[in-house]
Amino acid sequence: MVTFNFHKNTKLIQEPKVIQKEKDTYKLWREIHKNFPKTERFGIGQNIEQCFLRILEFSFSGSFLKPKEKIIVLGKIITRLDVLKFFMQIAWENKLIPQKKYLIISENLNEIGKMLGGWKKGLQKKTSA
């Protein structure tokens, strides 16, 4: 688990594992995106890019919220992840992503979804108790 500290006078905070998985999957996406045809790179490729960036942004900022607020943000992240999976499928169906890389990235996205769902469910149990 990675730690980060943006301010001198704050404690080191451990990054949730799901964020590291998201970052690793984004790196894989960046390699795939480089090989998109120019016309698609700025079309569906840009939509996929924005989905990844929003997921990373919401996951990072949401990790600092109170549990009840975090549940709401996790719901938004899960929805954005579903949209990302949909765009990835469209890109694959249009032969923009090779089969092997699509399988790897899809598996990663499914794992991220399970991690986010578990995080949300755990928080829901904790806040309802």
**Tens of pLDDT, residue by residue, the chain (129 residues):** 445 555 555 556 678 999 999 999 999 999 999 999 988 999 999 999 999 999 999 999 999 999 999 999 999 999 999 999 999 999 999 999 999 999 999 999 999 999 999 999 999 999 886
Structural tokens at position 3: 């730690």
CB 43 within 8 A of CB 25: no
Q: Identify the residue whose tokens are 């001198």.
A: 8
pTM for this entry: 0.87
Q: Which domains does the chain have, with CATH numbers?
A: 17-128 (1.20.1440.60)
